[in-house]
Structure 1
Amino acid sequence: MDNNKLATKPHYPILDGLRGVAALIVVCFHLCEPLATSHLTQLVNHGYLAVDFFFLLSGFVIGYAYNDRWNKLTIGGFLRRRFERLQPLVVLGMTFGAIGFYFTDSSIWPLIHTIPLWKLLLVTLIGYTLLPIPLSMDIRGWQEMHPLNSVGWSLFFEYIANILYAVGLRKLSIKGLFIFVFIAAVVLFHFVLTNSRGDVAGGWTLNWEHMRIGLTRTIYPFFAGLLLSRVAKPVSIRNAFLWCSLLIVAVLLMPRIGGANHLWMNGLYEAICIVFIFPCIVYLGASGVIQKQAESKVCKFLGDLSYPLYMVHYPLVYFYVAWVSDHKGITLVQAWPYALLTLIGSIILAYISLKWYDEPVRAWLRKKLK
């Protein structure tokens, strides 16, 4: 059976636009991060929750796209389609990271001076597969499973969720899926209320602690999105893109709650966002009606840009982090022109990557993987 012959379903354009809004906030989070004195004083304090929002969006969209197609679709066909969608930009992002590796030399990464070229090439090749590297192969010194493009960790867990969905969890009934999602929510609440940081940040290191965080952050939102795709009955809501965008901005820019003395309060906030608020935003976005052509164009542009921006911005952020680190005590007022330049550069690089690389490569893969 030719799995590429499946008809393409209409997109939810507002959800595409919301993915772009969240991606822009991720970039801003990474630009503000090196200016903070600790994780308690980040300006874009909950920007990392955008990843959890991405997981929920992914579960919803995949459920919408594939739940009623498995009579015509094999597991291999589904995974090929996900590979075609995700992997080209994984390779490009790792390549950009490798090209810039030695040029991001800074006192914050003294290990860079000691890394031979063969080891950089080996880590690059492993990065292309998204397999996590062990700590013994860390070439940057940040204990990342993907030291050439830090954001690769979330794609690793995205693939895990996709595989779990394809090989069995898609077969759960609505009741069975609800029970599974409820258990995942309890696990998430327990984790954020009891861990030593009072948040869900983590998942990028190949050790037990970060693997637990990564799976906890992935399983609930992805399969909650899948459940939502089955049970939601969208209605017609005007100005949904505007209201949902404002909600995302408010949630992700919320200052740290509870401080160092009441960490559980911030954990509770993040769990409520992931378990309740994000599904509501996705439901509202799926129910939204686009009334103006300008809004449609904005949503399409942001949607098209979202994944390339997420995958190629961090190699540029490495340069920015190196600059900030070599100028101790620099303030936001002093750093904002460089941060803005990095943001604009990331958007331009993402758009070029989309048009000159991602779209042509995916078209080629569709032909080759038939």
Structure 2
Amino acid sequence: MNNNELSTKPHYQILDGLRGVAAIIVVLFHLTEPLASSHLDNKVNHGYLAVDFFFLLSGYVIGYAYDDRWDTLTIGGFLRRRFERLQPLVVLGMTLGAIGFYFTDSTIWPLIHTVPVWKLLVVMLIGYTLLPIPLSMDIRGWQEMHPLNSVGWSLFFEYIANILYALGLRKLSNTALSCFVTLTGALLVHFALTNPNGDVTGGWTLNVEHMRIGITRTLFPFFAGLLLSRVARPTRIRHAFGWCSLLVAAVLFMPRVGGATHLWLNGLYEAGCIIVVFPLIVYIGASGVVHSRTEERICQFLGTLSYPLYMTHYVLVYFYVAWVSNHKGITLGQAWPYALLTFSGAIVLAYASLKLYDEPVRAWLRRKLA
């Protein structure tokens, strides 16, 4: 299947824009996270739910783009296209993380002083594949499967969802898929209500607990998005981008629910957002119409920037986190100039990565792998 065949369907510009809105909020979450005294009082308290939103968006778009093309599309062809789209920025993010590794010196990462260059390079090369590294290879001390670019864990589970879709779950009837989504939704609710942390965070460590969390966080939203793409019939909704952006921001900026005494309430809130609110946002976004050239340009810019921003911003956040940790007790009011500088740098780095690296490399891969 060539690229022209895949580009004949109308493009959901508003969904692209919403992906960019969520990516920006992820950056803000990571900038406020080191200033919080605990997971209960982050100023962008539910920013991590953007990952679950991304999974649902991905399932919806994959279903819309590919579900009716399997008469001519092979499993290898589908996975090759996903590789072309996702992998170049995976490689760049890991490379930039390795370049900056020794410069993010801080007391919170004492292991950095002990890591030989050969081990750093091995971790980087493994990171290129997105295969998770074991705890014995942790070179930062945060017990992450990708210590050179923290966000790599979600791409690992994105690939798992894509592979499961290609290998067989795409063949499920709508009834069977509804049963599967219901089951995975029940597992998500159970986890959200019983997790000792009172939330759905986790998935970034190579152990049984985090693998369970990562799979739980991935299966429902991705395949709920796939089901939504099959059964929902978008209408025409005015001002959808503005309303959906406000909804995304409201969900992700919502303060902690229930506090330290009623953790299950926060889990219930997060499960409700993933199971009810996010599909509603995607449906409204898919039903929306771009009303002006300005809105179209905003959605296009946010959409093209979203993935590079997500995959490269943490390279700069490492420097910011090190600075905050070296200035104990600093407040948001004191740190905001450095946070703004990091945020601005992340936008510039993402745009440069898109234009100077991602787009040219993807074009080259399309030619080579066609």
Normalising by structure 2, report the TM-score. 0.99
SS of the equivalent of 2:82 reads: helix
| CA displacement, residues 188-244 of structure 1 (integer Å, 9 cap, x when unaligned) | 000010110110000000001100100000000000000000001000011000000
Moved over 6 A (4+): none
State the AA in 1 paired with 2:218.
Answer: T
Residue matched to 1:301: 301
State the AA in 1 paired with 2:94.
Answer: M
Q: CA deviation at 1:339?
A: 0.4
Residue matched to 2:6: 7
SS of the equivalent of 1:289 reads: coil
Residue matched to 2:286: 286
Cα distance in 1 for residues equivalent to 2:184 and 2:6: 33
1:60-71 correspondence to structure 2 within 5 Å: 60-71=60-71
Cα distance in 1 for residues equivalent to 2:15 and 2:2: 25
Cα distance in 2 for residues equivalent to 1:319 and 1:136: 24
1:189-228 correspondence to structure 2 within 5 Å: 189-228=189-228
> Do the aligned partners of 2:75 and 2:167 also contact (CA within 8 Å) in 1?
yes
Cα distance in 2 for residues equivalent to 1:289 and 1:6: 24
> Do the aligned partners of 1:3 and 1:73 also contact (CA within 8 Å) in 2?
no
State the AA in 2 paired with 1:286.
Answer: A
Cα distance in 2 for residues equivalent to 1:194 and 1:109: 31
Q: CA deviation at 1:3?
A: 5.2
Given the alignment of the two structures, is residue 162 of structure 1 paired with residue 157 of structure 2, yes or no? no
> Do the aligned partners of 2:6 and 2:65 also contact (CA within 8 Å) in 1?
no
Q: CA deviation at 1:6?
A: 3.0
Residue matched to 2:353: 353
Residue matched to 1:56: 56
Q: CA deviation at 1:122?
A: 0.2
| CA displacement, residues 237-284 of structure 1 (integer Å, 9 cap, x when unaligned) | 110000000000000000000011100000000000000000000000
Structure 2 unaligned runs (5+)?
A: none
Cα distance in 2 for residues equivalent to 1:5 and 1:171: 25
Q: CA deviation at 1:7?
A: 3.2
1:191-270 correspondence to structure 2 within 5 Å: 191-270=191-270
SS of the equivalent of 1:278 reads: helix
1:143-182 correspondence to structure 2 within 5 Å: 143-182=143-182
Q: Percent identity?
A: 78
State the AA in 2 paired with 1:6.
Answer: E
State the AA in 2 paired with 1:233.
Answer: R
Cα distance in 1 for residues equivalent to 2:86 and 2:188: 26
Q: CA deviation at 1:11?
A: 1.5
Residue matched to 1:106: 106
State the AA in 2 paired with 1:265.
Answer: L
Residue matched to 1:18: 18
Residue matched to 2:336: 336
Cα distance in 1 for residues equivalent to 2:121 and 2:208: 27
State the AA in 2 paired with 1:124.
Answer: M
Cα distance in 2 for residues equivalent to 1:362 and 1:206: 30
State the AA in 2 paired with 1:336.
Answer: W
Cα distance in 2 for residues equivalent to 1:337 and 1:116: 34
Residue matched to 1:121: 121
Given the alignment of the two structures, is residue 366 of structure 1 paired with residue 342 of structure 2, yes or no? no
Cα distance in 2 for residues equivalent to 1:245 and 1:13: 13
State the AA in 1 paired with 2:74.
Answer: T
> Do the aligned partners of 1:106 and 1:326 also contact (CA within 8 Å) in 2?
yes
Q: CA deviation at 1:4?
A: 4.9
| CA displacement, residues 322-345 of structure 1 (integer Å, 9 cap, x when unaligned) | 000000000000001100110000
State the AA in 2 paired with 1:106.
Answer: S
State the AA in 1 paired with 2:5.
Answer: L
Please report the RMSD computed on the Cα atoms of aligned residues, expressed in angstroms. Answer: 0.7
1:36-47 correspondence to structure 2 within 5 Å: 36-47=36-47
Given the alignment of the two structures, is residue 312 of structure 1 paired with residue 312 of structure 2, yes or no? yes
SS of the equivalent of 2:6 reads: coil
Cα distance in 2 for residues equivalent to 1:132 and 1:270: 26
Residue matched to 2:139: 139
Cα distance in 2 for residues equivalent to 1:35 and 1:152: 23
Q: CA deviation at 1:41?
A: 1.1
| CA displacement, residues 157-201 of structure 1 (integer Å, 9 cap, x when unaligned) | 000000000000000000000000000000000001011011000
> Do the aligned partners of 1:3 and 1:74 also contact (CA within 8 Å) in 2?
no
Cα distance in 1 for residues equivalent to 2:105 and 2:267: 35
Cα distance in 1 for residues equivalent to 2:352 and 2:294: 22
State the AA in 2 paired with 1:173.
Answer: S
Structure 1 unaligned runs (5+)?
A: none
Tell me how many residue pairs correspond in the alignment.
369
Residue matched to 1:32: 32
State the AA in 1 paired with 2:268.
Answer: L
Normalising by structure 1, report the TM-score. 0.99
State the AA in 2 paired with 1:94.
Answer: M
| CA displacement, residues 31-68 of structure 1 (integer Å, 9 cap, x when unaligned) | 00000011011110000000000000000000000000
> Do the aligned partners of 1:3 and 1:72 also contact (CA within 8 Å) in 2?
no
